[in-house]
Amino acid sequence: MKALRKFLDKKKPLFEKGGKYAKLQSTFEAFETFLFVPDITSKTGTHIKDAIDLKRTMSVVVLALFPALLFGMYNVGYQHFRSAGELAATGMFDLFLYGLIKVLPIIVVSYVVGLGIEFAFAQMRGHKVNEGFLVSGMLIPLIMPVEAPLWMVAVATAFAVVIGKEVFGGTGMNIWNPALVARAFFFFAYPSKMSGDAVWIADKADTFSGATPLAHAAALVGAKGEAATSIIEQHLSNTWDMFVGLIPGSIGETSTIAILIGALILIATGIGSWRIIVSVFAGGFVMGTLFNLLGSNSYMTLIPAWQHLVMGGFAFGAVFMATDPVSGTQTTRGKYIYGFLIGFLAVLIRVLNAGFPEAMMLAILLMNTFAPLIDHFVVQGNIKRRLKRVKVTA
Amino acid sequence: MSEVKKIKKGLDIKLIGKAEKVLEKADRSETYAIKPTDFPGLTPKLKVKVNAEVKAGSPLFFDKYCPEINFASPVSGKVIAVNRGERRKILEVVIQADTETQYETFKKADPNGLSREDVKEELLKSGLWCYLRQRPYDVIAKPLETPKAIFISAFDTAPLAADFDFLVEGESEAFQAGINALAKLTDGKVNLNINPNLNQSKVFSDAKNVAINKFTGIHPAGNVGVQIHHVDPINKGEVVWVIRPQEVVFIGRLFTKGIYDVSRKIALCGSEVKTPCYFETIQGASVRNILKGKLKDEQKIRVISGNVLTGTQIFEDGFIGSYDSQLTVIPEGNQFEFLGWALPGLNKFSMSKSFFSWLMPKKEYRLDANMHGEHRAYVVSGEYEKVLPMDILPVHLVKSIMIEDIDRMEQLGIYEVAPEDFALCEFVCTSKINVQDIIRQGIGLMIKEMS
């Protein structure tokens, strides 16, 4: 390691102001601080600092995403061979390998495009490269359909980084979750590649229905009597598969169990907000229960409230998207309200608007927009308490 | 007795090198200094020139904007230097001490028999006034104001903090006299906040003329600002004064002995000290003789007057700060660490559980002054709230200071906070933001705008 350090120390002047490669200073520093935690010490204020930094925080989140990612790769293979009717003949490793080959290019495109833009912006502004995209770059592939064309992934990522983040000033300043901006852009710009029955399974055999549970559930709205029960029996009765994640869907969102492992990592390390995660699930459950009680169509009567929590991107959104500290609420109280409303709205939109069977993305983006308003009311509450104190004592 | 308030939010940072309750002798320091920089917001005007002879209690300089407030020499001797920094700012007034201390004489009197004005005058004249600090703003108290209450915290929960019981051992007479003097200065109560788990000393428990409040819990339970917030919070327009127990003893000595005697015990602690223990010394002493032969000399070290969270870095021949009763020595840590952010981190301390050191909750750490990462914009939320046991929204307050919005700062509670209350916020900050500096800036801005 000393040799590497020496090498870096030798090259460093070239990248500093006036050096030959001064235009790449941010890039050099990004790599240098990636390899070595810098030698800077505290000059004012506390003399000791918590060992955590943004690199650690972000890498813990990426680690928490790994169960969902690995399972997603396996499921891509599983769905492909199932649609082809070759599931029994294919080994587990082959399933995974197939998925790996399909998914890896999407991850590479997401990181290369996103980081490329981040580095360029950092250099233009003379900033340091922020670690935020390490997570966004992993989130984007996980919420894409496996059949998403790579160039579309690239365009969506570029849109997310530039319009979703950099125009606001970079990591820490953005209003919406960048990964969801990418997905929303994709959804509205190329709807045929982001919805329907064909895109969720890699190289799907034509005869096989590739509809997601959410699409089946949405079909319940118009179905009555036997038609409805037959949809349930054929497509929505195997809740175990939904929980484990052996269903068609975006790459990383299908397995509730893998996502819960990630949630455990986030909550145990204290990096994800358990308040948000718990209240999103609570909000979804409450809205689902209300629909069950209301029961005005088959979707409302036949899908129990808890099933909403394992279908589609609900769990993934709750654990990895809603918890983004930058675009979410920042006050403790606000987190409960924000999370609850996300879950509540997601199920509401799902059931009432057939145009958006996957409502989690929209619910989170909407609440991202309202997060500052929620915080505003919490802050006002604090201010009022302080003012009231004066009146009591006076 | 009153109920015990338990402070649950906060963080105890366990460091190696807590001082043993043993009083060791150090060679007497030859030089002493009073540093105007210890008193935030002060503009000093010198009263003495280099080579002047002074006694203990002779004024060295005074506050330009409040000339009654004198700052006195801790020992007798000769002024040998006035060290200045940029733009001729006075940094240190250094005195070469006589071998035998000569004292200025002040009136010996029982404070109970004195009027408020008499007590004030004695404190101002002697130079002890500077130990009275006010909230809001955490600056020296204004002599013309009358506080609604006075608060004394009888314990310190900061990392490696000195044991206040031990510091005031055998001083009960002076302590009581000091309390009596303070009681004259307020129309309200003198509050003595003790921790039943830490304070066993009779000096505190037998003190009269005070209201006793009880606190337990983790740091910052010992911060007087946190205690005030829970007992009698400061609203706009109200003033509270605070002082530390050893300084109450100084005031007591002034009235019982008629002299300016600022000798005190200090704790020498930290991972780089061979045998951490207590020393008897005088305020403002050079640390050279105290540190001589006491340090492990393995690597570059950092000497801090005060604790690791709020103290000031001094050199190995620097001087103890006016308000400090603790000298901490830690490694400097100015080295690169290969992939440090990715390692399991068994020797790293973090409030988050993202390093595996959380598996060993009792472990004591040898922490250095490394930043452990670069400065970033705010990303993580909810961190500060975990370590600030006040009904205050820390991030919103900090942001209101950053944009210099006076109204907002006032609404969000700037009057109730001191930089030290935000020290833990700064410690835990993932984005490495200098929260204490920002709070101090905000306070400076308030003083400027409100005066």
Q: What is the mean pLDDT of residues B397-403?
A: 95
Q: What is the mean pLDDT of residues A323-349?
A: 93
pLDDT at B155 over 80: yes
What is each CA distance from A113 to A109, A138, A140, A165, A176, in whole angstroms? 6, 12, 12, 14, 19
Domain membership of residue B221 (yes or no) is yes
Whether B302 has its CB under 8 Å from any CB of chain A: the answer is yes
Confidence label for B1 from pLDDT (cuts 50, 70 and 90): very low
Tokens of B423: 């020290």
Q: What is the mean pLDDT of chain B?
A: 91
Q: What burial class does residue A92 get, using C-beta atoms within 10 Å of its C-beta: 0-12 exposed, 13-18 middle, 19+ buried? A: exposed
Q: How many CA atoms lie within 13 A of A8 on its CB side?
A: 19
pLDDT tens digit string along A164-209? 888 888 888 889 999 999 999 988 888 888 777 778 887 777 777 7
Cβ distance of A5 and B436 shorter than 8 Å: no
Kindly list the residues from chain B whose CB atom is less than 8 angstroms away from the CB atom of residue A268: 353
Domain end among B257, B283, B298: B257
Angle at A94 between CA A92 and CA A97, to 5 degrees: 115
Cβ distance of B308 and A268 shorter than 8 Å: no
Q: What is the pLDDT of residue B442?
A: 95
Give backbone dihedrals phi and psi of B266, rounded to 5 degrees, phi first.
-130, 155
Domain membership of residue B445 (yes or no) is yes
Indicate the number of domains in chain B: 2
Say how far apart CA A216 and CA A232 lie, in whole Å: 8
Confidence label for B2 from pLDDT (cuts 50, 70 and 90): low
pLDDT at B189 over 60: yes
Name the minimum distance, in Å, from the CA of B102 to any CA of chain A.
37
Q: What is the mean pLDDT of residues A368-390?
A: 92
Neighbour count for residue B37 (Cβ, 10 Å): 15
Kindly list the residues from chain B whose CB atom is less than 8 angstroms away from the CB atom of residue A47: 302, 304, 308-309, 311, 313, 328, 330, 369
Interface test with B, best of A8, A34, A35, A50 (most B CBs within 10 A): A50
Say how far apart CA B231 and CA B149 lie, in whole Å: 11
Whether B236 has its CB under 8 Å from any CB of chain A: the answer is yes
Residue pairs between chains A and B whose CB atoms are closer than 8 Å? 208
Q: How much of chain B, in percent, has pLDDT values that exceed 70?
A: 99
Which of the two residues, B134 and B299, has the higher pLDDT score?
Answer: B134
Say how far apart CA B77 and CA B31 lie, in whole Å: 9
Kindly list the residues from chain A whose CB atom is less than 8 angstroms away from the CB atom of residue B340: 36-37
Domain membership of residue B364 (yes or no) is no
Domain end among B213, B228, B257: B257
Say how far apart CA A35 and CA A32 lie, in whole Å: 5
Q: Any residues with CB less than 8 A from the CB of B314 and at least 6 apart, and which?
A: B287, B303, B304, B305, B320, B321
DSSP code of residue B285: B
Which residues of chain A from 10 to 39 reach within 8 Å of chain B, CB to CB?
33, 35-39
Which of the two residues, A22 and A275, has the higher pLDDT score?
Answer: A275
Which residues of chain A from 161 to 220 reach within 8 Å of chain B, CB to CB?
169-173
Q: What is the pLDDT of residue A394?
A: 52
Nearest CA in chain A to B367: A48
Kindly list the residues from chain A whose CB atom is less than 8 angstroms away from the CB atom of residue B420: none
Q: Any residues with CB less than 8 A from the CB of B196 and at least 6 apart, and which?
A: B4, B214, B216
Q: What is the mean pLDDT of chain A?
A: 87
Highest mean pLDDT among A1-15, A27-41, A48-62 belongs to: A48-62
Which residues of chain B from 314 to 333 reach within 8 Å of chain A, CB to CB?
328, 330, 332-333
pLDDT at B270 over 80: yes
Domain membership of residue B34 (yes or no) is yes
The residue segments making up the domain with residue B436 are 383-450
Say how far apart CA A49 and CA B255 lie, in whole Å: 43
Whether B40 has its CB under 8 Å from any CB of chain A: the answer is no
Nearest CA in chain A to B376: A130
Question: Are residues B39 and B140 in contact, defined by beta-carbon separation less than 8 angstroms?
Answer: yes
Residue B239 and residue B387 in one domain = no
Cβ distance of A52 and B432 shorter than 8 Å: no
Which residues of chain A from 67 to 106 reach within 8 Å of chain B, CB to CB?
none
pLDDT tens digit string along B332-364? 888 888 877 777 777 888 888 888 888 788 888
Domain membership of residue B294 (yes or no) is no
Give backbone dihedrals phi and psi of B439, rounded to 5 degrees, phi first.
-60, -45
State the residue for tokens 């490394």.
B370
Domain membership of residue B363 (yes or no) is no
Phi-psi bin for B339: left (phi > 0), alpha (psi -120 to 50), beta? left
Confidence label for A36 from pLDDT (cuts 50, 70 and 90): confident
Enumerate the β-bridge partners of residue B313: B304
Residue B104 and residue B244 in one domain = yes
Domain membership of residue B416 (yes or no) is yes
Say how far apart CA B314 and CA B321 lie, in whole Å: 9
Q: Any residues with CB less than 8 A from the CB of B232 and at least 6 apart, and which?
A: B148, B149, B191, B240
Domain end among B257, B279, B305: B257
Which residues of chain B from 322 to 381 reach within 8 Å of chain A, CB to CB?
328, 330, 332-342, 345, 348-355, 367-374, 376-381
Of B236, B374, B423, the CB nearest to A38: B374
Phi-psi bin for B291: left (phi > 0), alpha (psi -120 to 50), beta? alpha
Question: Are residues B375 and B432 in contact, defined by beta-carbon separation less than 8 angstroms?
Answer: yes
Cβ distance of A36 and B338 shorter than 8 Å: yes
Which of the two residues, A224 and A361, has the higher pLDDT score?
Answer: A361
Domain membership of residue B177 (yes or no) is yes
Angle at A62 between CA A58 and CA A64, to 5 degrees: 115
Q: What is the mean pLDDT of residues B378-401?
A: 92
Phi-psi bin for B284: left (phi > 0), alpha (psi -120 to 50), beta? left
Say how far apart CA B341 and CA B370 lie, in whole Å: 13
